């Protein structure tokens, strides 16, 4: 993972910073040779806990960049000793920030899928933009995912954050981008292939929000989407509260609770106890978190079930039969063991005809950014928003 100190951005220095970055690019020596294309597409999944960015020239299949970065900014604490942080950096990002968290003031730019700290969001996005090296004359266009329920303020805040970093942007609901990223275009001519973009229900369980979206071949409308602020972060808090009740003398960090959850999360039948050996007060202890994790994940399952029923109720009678058989779980929550089978069981018990649910699981982190590139290639010129 590449991490670079970047000084705070101001409107006055944005253009000059972009010029210097281009001059330092390995492409600078190729100025006499025009690029294959003068438009660079960037697919950006600006996630609450993890972000993914992919970049490719318009018309080219090969990627110029593909990175997954923890969404966190660390600012050096006041009075920190010299040479303690890498290169005496004042700001660190992603994994490097996490490794040096003891010496940093850690600031998450996002909460519940939208910008929570404007300054940290600008710093983080500028760091991400710095990972993309391209000639100065290339126009950069970014397709960025948003939660299904993002309001006008959230959209305006995101656009403001990206101003000065990209020339044009296109903001699209994340579940729709996930569907585009999940689509296998090599199989579209196969009549047996179940195209997820044609008629499906995508359930994107992220850190801040759970988004449910009907995907039926076009950009979803507000009526075809539902979003709730009950997702991975809420599950983490529920588990932490349960641990404190069960073990009052155990004070685990939220990061440790999240680590335990990601290793042991489940719904339905518990296949193996969620037991962890932890050093507490300098002594090794064996703690059982099975009930705490199971109860918290069950509450998430119930939220997902309610959201799915709400969106299905809005589907037309002509499409609902196929729709209910093509439910796709993505986002970090799709890694919870048995979540797909338990959701399918609840739907069947509630009377839905032959529901079909599948989980994307481990491959979810790149789907939104991958789908964003697809959307950028297909977007009409009048759909792009020009950034000042």
The percent of residues in the chain predicted with pLDDT above 70, rounded, is: 90
Together in a domain, 226 and 236 = no
Together in a domain, 24 and 168 = yes
pLDDT at residue 80 is higher than 60: yes
326: left (phi over 0), alpha (psi -120 to 50) or beta: beta
Q: Report yes or no: 300 and 292 within 8 Å, Cβ to Cβ.
A: no
Together in a domain, 141 and 275 = no
Residues 6+ apart with CB under 8 A from 247: 287
Please identify which residue in the block is written with the tokens 């005809």: 353
Is residue 73 one of the residues assigned to a domain? yes
Point out the domain boundary residue: 295, 320, 342: 295
Together in a domain, 43 and 170 = yes
Together in a domain, 126 and 148 = yes
Mean pLDDT, rounded, for 80-91: 88
Is residue 2 one of the residues assigned to a domain? no
pLDDT at residue 62 is higher than 50: yes
Together in a domain, 28 and 163 = yes
Is residue 283 one of the residues assigned to a domain? yes
User: CA dihedral defined by 379, 381, 384, 388, rounded to 10 degrees?
Assistant: 150
Together in a domain, 260 and 168 = no
Least confident of 199-203, 210-214, 215-219: 215-219
Point out the domain boundary residue: 264, 295, 326: 295
Is residue 200 one of the residues assigned to a domain? yes
- In 3D space, the residue among 186, 185, 220 whose CA is nearest the CA of residue 200 turns out to be 220
Together in a domain, 358 and 323 = yes
pLDDT at residue 12 is higher than 90: no
Q: What's the mean pLDDT when you consider all of the chain?
A: 86
Give me the number of domains the chain comprises.
3
Mean pLDDT, rounded, for 263-286: 88
Q: E strands along 14-93, which residues?
A: 39-45, 50-57, 65-70, 73-76, 91-93
List the structure tokens of 118.
């404007």
Is residue 4 one of the residues assigned to a domain? no
Together in a domain, 258 and 141 = no
Is residue 1 one of the residues assigned to a domain? no
Task: Indicate which CATH number applies to the domain containing 269.
Answer: 3.30.420.40
Together in a domain, 198 and 323 = yes
pLDDT at residue 162 is higher than 70: yes
Point out the domain boundary residue: 295, 320, 346: 295
Calpha distance 71→51 (Å, rounded)? 6
User: pLDDT class for 141, splitting at 50, 70, 90?
Assistant: very high
- What pLDDT score was predicted for residue 146? 86
Calpha distance 203→196 (Å, rounded)? 12
Is residue 65 one of the residues assigned to a domain? yes
Together in a domain, 20 and 161 = yes
The percent of residues in the chain predicted with pLDDT above 90, rounded, is: 60
pLDDT at residue 386 is higher than 90: no
Q: What are phi and psi of 314, to 5 degrees?
A: -90, -10
Domain limits for position 260: 232-295
SS3 167: coil
Is residue 99 one of the residues assigned to a domain? yes
Together in a domain, 87 and 159 = yes
Tell me the CA distances in angstroms from 311 to 213, 223, 253, one per residue in order: 7, 8, 36
- In 3D space, the residue among 55, 82, 83, 84 whose CA is nearest the CA of residue 67 turns out to be 55
Least confident of 22-36, 167-181, 241-255: 22-36
Calpha distance 74→255 (Å, rounded)? 15
User: pLDDT class for 137, splitting at 50, 70, 90?
Assistant: confident
The continuous run of DSSP H or E covering 12 comes out as: helix 11-24
Neighbours of 233 (CB within 10 A): 21
């Amino acid at each position: 993972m590449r991490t670079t100190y970047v000084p705070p951005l101001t409107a006055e220095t944005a253009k000059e910073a972009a010029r210097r970055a281009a001059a330092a690019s390995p492409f600078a020596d190729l100025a006499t040779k025009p690029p294959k294309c003068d438009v660079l597409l960037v697919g950006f999944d600006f996630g609450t806990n993890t972000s993914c960015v992919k970049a490719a020239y318009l018309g080219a299949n090969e990627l110029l960049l593909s990175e997954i970065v923890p969404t966190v900014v660390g600012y050096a604490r006041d009075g920190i000793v010299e040479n303690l942080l890498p290169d005496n950096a004042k700001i660190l990002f992603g994994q490097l920030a996490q490794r040096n968290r003891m010496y940093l003031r850690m600031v998450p730019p996002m909460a519940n899928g939208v910008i929570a700290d404007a300054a940290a969001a600008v710093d983080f996005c500028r760091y991400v933009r710095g990972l993309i090296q391209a000639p100065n004359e290339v126009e950069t266009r970014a397709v960025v995912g948003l939660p299904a329920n993002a309001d006008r303020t959230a959209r305006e805040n995101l656009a403001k954050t990206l101003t000065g970093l990209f020339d044009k942007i296109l903001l699209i609901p994340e579940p729709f981008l996930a569907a585009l990223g999940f689509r296998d275009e090599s199989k579209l001519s196969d009549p047996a292939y179940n195209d997820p973009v044609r008629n499906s229900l995508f359930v994107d369980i992220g850190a801040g929000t759970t988004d449910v979206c009907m995907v039926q071949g076009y950009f979803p409308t507000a009526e075809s989407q539902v979003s709730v602020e009950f997702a991975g972060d809420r599950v983490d808090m529920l588990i932490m509260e349960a641990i404190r009740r069960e073990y009052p003398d155990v004070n685990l960090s939220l990061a440790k609770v999240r680590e335990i959850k990601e290793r042991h999360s489940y719904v339905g039948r518990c296949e193996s106890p969620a037991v962890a050996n932890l050093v507490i007060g300098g002594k090794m202890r064996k703690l059982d978190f099975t009930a705490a994790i199971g109860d918290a994940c069950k509450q998430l399952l119930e939220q997902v079930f309610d959201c799915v029923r709400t969106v299905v109720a809005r589907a037309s009678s002509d499409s609902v039969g196929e729709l209910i058989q093509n439910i796709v779980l993505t986002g970090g929550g799709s890694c919870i063991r048995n979540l797909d089978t338990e959701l399918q069981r609840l739907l069947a018990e509630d009377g839905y005809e032959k529901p079909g649910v599948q989980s994307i699981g481990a491959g979810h982190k790149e789907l939104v950014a991958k789908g964003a590139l697809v959307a950028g290639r297909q977007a009409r010129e009048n759909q792009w928003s020009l950034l000042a």
